[in-house]
Chains A and B, each alone.
Chain A
């Protein structure tokens, strides 16, 4: 159920099934069991800019009031204000622009205060249409529908896509070819100093492209290379060409050889421990794109522009289509680094004859604490994307987690550090309390990055200790099988829980804690 606060006719855009509307400009808070609220106010049309300014100010005040009334566990989507009828009787009169800017500022401040609020950038939709198509005045005068009803279909498509990007989702991995994709020319023929990067066209177009990709990786998108080249040539270029924005250290994994790219992509997926469906593959050669599309249908292979001056438009559409996220966490931003640290760990492991010696040498430190408002987004992100070490695979969003906490559940998070680096938050455990001295493990998931160090045992043991200390005598747990989590089917058995029932592969466990032990 959606509830829309509006000042104009909006039924044509949000529909009428499962949607309720406020009176025009009315902010009385409704009796409703809506699970999501929308603020859809359009800039008013007035003869006098001073009146427009006054009304925008009034909208801002009303919005701030409504924001305080929306239950914090319900999502509140607020559309930005855009000017559909920028009539200026004095070209130097910027009073309306200033009022809109003020609205935007107060909206941003509001978003910082209310974590359930998401700002919907309406301009990204409106920009797709020429200004004159935004308002069909016949409908405005007939029915107060300020936005052209003929835009309703594209609006719904865009809004649905935008809603999807609001929930934290797994970030995709960008796999890149090199020649004529990240620079102009062929490295093997032109040499490290002959490839076109930086300087005049097309080098400047490729440079901007590289810089943009690097900025994307700083927000948690993993980068990988899949190129047909001699690796010595590429390493040489990465070392010696002063203009490159992307070099070896920016990539989490690299495949440079003369083998077919589909095989290489499969290997990259395995090395990075990611699904092929999280890969977006860019290559300037149509033949390579076709090959990957037919052999690996789960990989996303967009068309690549054949002219470097088309790269900026291409990149913008690529981000909007595949890499759109509302907000990144600090962990997203250091993700590539973590993938590289992991590569170092794998290498170190080979050097130890004895697993226990290896573990000791890692100098592992774990930090287990209750989730707070800052760590909740990361917990939701993990809940959505963890497939293998996930005992019940419940895909909770941030909003769901807040609901659980409100109902008395407890969420523990696990942070791990070792001598190679800080893995950050790599696990979480959600506990509910069905009765006075009993607890239930609703969810337990760990990133595959930290497996193989017995950390899962340490985590669970510590939680059981804390539960015992707070008076819990019985802990129940469950295992819900999926196609990806068979490796944890016997986890609770190994951790001293007793199997109390099994139906269709789903298992129930129980363990008495307290005076018993370890």
Chain B
């Protein structure tokens, strides 16, 4: 009946999945972030050149989901300015590595 239940694109169950998957394998941050991007933006073939301009699925709602996924999966806290400037993969990686460091 309800679309909520049917909505398989539940970002937060996905985050748990991503976290588990990453704990199971030893991935570096770059690989982990790529996996997160692919799941949240529902684009399995996504690569490091991904950006808000080039990726069709990366709309404002997906951007929010991406930020929440990053904060939850990598256990970091992004500042609003950083959230706004995170418009492509490499910038996201720089931010995440900076926080984890």
Contacts and interface: CB of A to CB of B under 8 A. Distances in A.
Nearest to B64: A143
B91 interface: no
Nearest to A154: B12
A305 interface: no
Interface in B51-101: 60-61, 64-65, 68, 71-72, 78-80, 83-84
Contacts of B12: 150, 152-153, 156
* B3, B79, B83, B84, most chain A CB atoms within 10 A: B3
A15 B4 contact: yes
A17 B5 CA distance: 10
Interface size class of B (residues with CB under 8 A): 20 to 34
Interface in A329-374: none
A304 to B, nearest CB: 30
A159 interface: yes
Contact of B7 (A1, A18, A138, A163): A18
A339 to B, nearest CB: 31
B64 A149 contact: yes
Contacts of A163: 1-2, 4
Contacts, number: 71
Interface in B36-62: 60-61
Contacts of B68: 12, 139, 149-150, 152
A346 B13 CA distance: 53
A18 B64 contact: no
Contacts of B2: 2, 36, 160, 163
Contacts of A11: 61, 64
User: Which of A2, A9, A156 counts the most B-chain CB atoms under 10 A from its CB?
Assistant: A156
Interface in A357-395: none
Contacts of A18: 3, 6-7
Contact of A138 (B6, B9, B65, B80): B80
A36 B2 CA distance: 9
B3 A145 contact: no
A270 to B, nearest CB: 33
A16 B9 contact: yes
Nearest to B14: A153
A15 B65 contact: no
A19 interface: yes
B64 A12 contact: yes
A141 interface: yes
Given A14-B4, A15-B9, 13 more contacts: A2-B2, A2-B4, A9-B64, A12-B64, A15-B7, A36-B2, A139-B64, A142-B83, A143-B60, A149-B68, A152-B68, A159-B4, A160-B4
14 contacts: A2-B3, A12-B61, A12-B65, A12-B68, A15-B3, A15-B9, A17-B3, A17-B7, A36-B2, A142-B84, A149-B64, A150-B72, A156-B10, A160-B2
Interface of A: 1-2, 9, 11-12, 14-19, 36, 138-139, 141-143, 145, 149-150, 152-153, 156, 159-160, 163
